[in-house]
Structure 1
Amino acid sequence: MKVYLLKEKLLISFTPVLNVAIKVYVDNGLILSDIYHEGNIQPREMDCGIPLFNVGVMGRDAVNHLMYLLGRQPDDELISQLRYLDAQVELFNSLLSSRTLIELFSDCPNLVWMIVLHNYFSQGAHVYEYLSRMKRRHLISWLNDIPSTENRVRILKKTTLLSGRREELRWLARSLCNDEIMDAYKHHDVISLQELYLSLRYRILAGSQLLKSLTLQSKPYLRDYKPGMSSLVHIVKDSIRIGENIGIKKATSIVLNCRSREEVRALHDEWSNRLLETTKYIQQDIFFEEPSLMPATGIKFIASVNALITEGREMKHCVASYKSRALSGDAYIYSVCTSRGVRATVELVLSNGTYIPVQMKGKENSTLDDLTINSITGWLEKENKRLIAALEHLSQSVEIQSA
């Protein structure tokens, strides 16, 4: 994209990548655009789809030139606030049309952004004037169909957006609807939208120092913050459980106050080692309820507390901390040794009559190779089919006897 600063207009060219050019000019105080594409012209468009006041996109010279076309001196404060990518021209024109909207924008710019997107090109200046005079909490409720409370206004004021795309409005509204999220962030001075976005998906991290640290780096889209989050949440939960098992007070708080993934992993490894060191065999071994699965070559059910402790020591991981879950029947632990000598520990749970693998880990929580994973899942799939067939046969037999 190239921008040409002409006397009474801006010319934006996309050639040779696209045969498109946009002329931006001012008419009666409004920013208008003529879009040239091939041999076609779309005249007097209100918004050409480019964030014209975004210095990062247009450059400071082009933004200053546009301000001069509007008969205004470059306004550093306004330019710094206009960080939105969507409906930016409509937002700017709306601000010019209503003094009370400007006052609201200075106090809560995100709320003005919501008003503009909600009424995009469909309302006149008098409507913006009317809406901007409403009480903040009533306006948020009217725009997003959420409870009318002051704490939502405070959260909205403290939230910084990523780039102002429409998608962000949807996630912001969903966050404002969630009382648990509102409570987690009520004491925060500044909140990023990416924090709220990830809090909705990974609730355990809501309001934590860990999540704040993970979202400090600027990325183009909200979805760019998701990779690796599921595995991190698993380590977080595992660390909390291990900490509680070894008697760490406020284990949850300690884990969630970590400032990086590496810090969480280091804490997990430290507590796992302490668990291995402090775990002692019990004099009278306790046996677990065995699942309805047939063992296979190299796949063995860990049948007791002492056997579980042995597995944890040999594999150098924290499986011994699962003994309470195994005793209650919430988890079934298997030890695997393949013909290639690969060792693994597998955790299964029973869900709707089917055994599902929750975890499959190698020594020291290492990731297993695909061949080992396929071997384990193949055995489990075969056993689940056998159990389903047996249940269906039993059900048919009962029906026949009843008849």
Structure 2
Amino acid sequence: MSTVTIDLGVIDESWDHVDDAAVGLPRGWVLTGVLALLLSLLSSAPPPGRPHEVTRQPLRNGEFHVAGGALFVLDSDRTPTPVEAFDAADGSLRWSFTPDGLASLSAVDVRGDLAVLSPDLCRSGVTGTTVAVTRATGREQWRAVGVPVRTPPGGTGTVVMRSLWSDGCRALADNTPLAGVLRWQLIDTAGLVRWDTAVEAGTRVAVDSAAAGATWAALLDPDGGLSTVDLTTGARTAPVAGVAGPADDLVAAVGELLLVARWDAATGGTRLTAYTRDLQRRWSTLVPAGQSGPLTVLPCGAALCVNGDRTVAVDPAGGAVLWTVPKPSLLVAPGGAPALPPDTGRTVPAGWRFLAADGARVLLGLRTDGDTLLAWSDGGPAPTPSASVPGTLVGCEIDGPLVACGTDADEVVLLRLP
């Protein structure tokens, strides 16, 4: 699990009255309200039970991941990085693996019978190496320079992106031109390269941010030509002029839509235009989101969230604005999507902590007398209590009935919720 930080930029104080209005009460009354809400939850629902604790392991400022019936713990501060896999049924150690060389590892992606281990480019500060091991034994199968692309499960291999570490860390996230050449390669389970597609320096790259995983990417070259790459075949289309250009602040790919955003100084908003994947124009709308650092367009539920000096949800079918919150959300779910209920934009209730997202619902935590009360929220006015866990949980991952959470004691605990 990785911690994600969003730079809010300069917060305009003119919106303070909006935020205060959302609270509407002095702080003491807010605390009283939180306690009253907790009491009402506990009185109106069966008392939450203790979940089954499968295992608890030291984290050592590292990372963890739960998938494929195993808890993976990566000692990411060490180079090379030791990795341990624990059985999700009984917590026993399946295997431990330390790669040869200087591989720094922070993430795990389960692909069939393989666990693909990869670095965090921003954390490692180097191009990085991806290593694939068998899930059952931890035996190394192949390794490649670069990091894997988050593609849908069930593919025939792993798409690995090789680039300058600065391009992989910042240029793609900020939608700025590449400083060097970028390559995508599909590597099969035997470690063979099935296709190889290169992208020239100076190109702006937008990788599909669909919640299910990326299937394509949009490329804007320095001359204003827009092309696409199919991340299942490596095929690249010929560039088309006139769709986007240097004056556009953002080019984004989300599912089957290409989004082009341009700051509109006259209105203080952003002109958002949507195209199909084959560059056919769908709709255009003015979004009331201004500049506050890099602009982003990400999926949030069934909507698109435009994040600037505030967060605006847009209907991907026609561009209608669904809701607006005055400041960008600090909460980000796996894959980069803001953790906001897509129907209302309601943020997490006061006193609760966002822990993880599971489809349309989110897992929240509330510190109560040395324990953490876990509750599910679907965006309604009151979360639904699920279980109580000793200690303070600071972030979780969900895999079916399994929940793995970091703690303030620098541990990871694997739970099976009731």
TM-score after normalising by structure 2? 0.30
Q: Which structure is richer in relative contact order (CA contacts within 8 A, separation 6 or more)?
A: 2
Q: TM-score, normalised by structure 1?
A: 0.31
Highest Rg: 1 or 2?
Answer: 1
Query: More strand by proportion, 1 or 2?
Result: 2
Bigger proportion of residues as helix? 1
